[in-house]
Amino acid sequence: MALLMWIEWAHVTKIYQSDMEYKEDHMENWARNIGLLDFSASLQSGVTVILGPKGSGKSTLLKLTATLMLPDDGRITFHTATGSYNWSTGSMMSSKATAEFGWLKKRIAFLPMLNQLHQDTTVELSLLHMAQIYCLTDPRKKSCEIMMRWGLTAYRQTPLHKLRGGILKRFVLAQSLLIRPIIWILDEPTKGLDPLGKKLLWEELKNRSHERITLIATHDMKLAECADNLMLLEAGSCRRLGKRSLLTAGVAEGTVAAWYQTMQVFSEMKNSFKM
């Protein structure tokens, strides 16, 4: 059954106060401090892959949607079967709505979350701990199931600091799914992920996408092929949003990579006319 929920971003703007760390990386961006600028869009369940050049605002959009940062202007509204909840600077809510929104926020999983890991704890105990924090029924069973699904059973007694990079990333993905997120937000999930992890991620995205809203920012064009929708960001704004099948049908190769490349060419042409 499809999830009865959607997210709406209305005129969301986020300006960073300092650009010190970013000067080298994103020199081509005319306004380095702009995370998002008057960003508007809306999305329902399924997998949405967010594409865009370096510094176009992909991570900013994900962090704002994960409610890790507040927008400076505009609002993000989470529409659910029980009500609509606004994430914006200065928004007011009744105590009932605050409690409901609190419940929803606990069902938003954001990756990367590596810094929140207790490195000395074993794989099994970390999952169990997470299941207990989130008050899951039958936490031991659910932790075992997720370990099996993500090929982690052989590492159950291994402390996290001993996991190799690719397997650690697989663990983090598994852990994020343990809480059965309604909104699953992934920033570059295939970066540093091992081949088994990539295969399992693909299966998860293909088989369970209707159960949640999944947002993925990536430069991995192979992964982007799993999208139901594509969103293209440019200089902090949404330039395109639509069904992958429709957007890619417009380019000869019919792939996301070819569509993205075409869009980049159009952008360069547009920018050269402006100069």
Ligand X SMILES: Nc1ncnc2c1ncn2[C@@H]1O[C@H](COP(=O)(O)OP(=O)(O)OP(=O)(O)O)[C@@H](O)[C@H]1O
CB nearer to ligand X: pick between 33 and 42: 33
Asked whether position 52 contacts ligand X by CB under 6 A, the answer is yes
Q: Which of residues 209-248 bind ligand X (CB under 6 A)?
A: 217
Q: How far apart are alpha carbons 107 and 141 in whole angstroms? A: 19
Q: Would you call the peptide bond into 189 cis, given omega within 30 degrees of 0 as the criterion?
A: no
CB nearer to ligand X: pick between 73 and 211: 73
CB of 238 to ligand X, least distance (A): 12
Pairing of strands 237-243, 229-234: antiparallel
Q: What is the layout of strands, in order, in the sheet containing 73-79?
A: 34-43, 6-15, 73-79, 84-87
H or E element in which residue 259 lies: helix 256-274
CB of 141 to ligand X, least distance (A): 37
Cβ-count burial 73-86 (b if 16+ within 10 Å, e if not): ebbbbbebeeeebb
Q: Distance between terminal CA atoms of the chain? A: 50
Q: Under a CB-based contact definition with an 8 Å cutoff, are residues 244 and 227 in contact? A: yes
Q: Applying CB under 6 A, which part among 18-26, 65-73, 121-129, 142-150 lies near ligand X?
A: 18-26
Q: Applying CB under 6 A, which part among 58-66, 113-121, 145-153, 159-167 lies near ligand X?
A: 58-66
Asked whether position 70 contacts ligand X by CB under 6 A, the answer is no
Q: Which of 7, 35, 146, 205 binds ligand X (CB under 6 A)?
A: 35
Asked whether position 29 contacts ligand X by CB under 6 A, the answer is yes
For the beta carbon of residue 13, count every other beta carbon within 10 angstroms: 16
- Report how many residues bind ligand X under the rule CB under 6 A: 19
Q: Applying CB under 6 A, which part among 25-33, 69-77, 224-232, 265-273 lies near ligand X?
A: 25-33
Asked whether position 181 contacts ligand X by CB under 6 A, the answer is no
Q: Which of 6, 22, 134, 202 binds ligand X (CB under 6 A)?
A: 22
CA atoms within 13 A on the CB side of 51: 26
- Residue ranges that bind ligand X, judged by CB under 6 A: 16, 18-19, 22, 26, 29, 32-35, 52, 54-60, 217
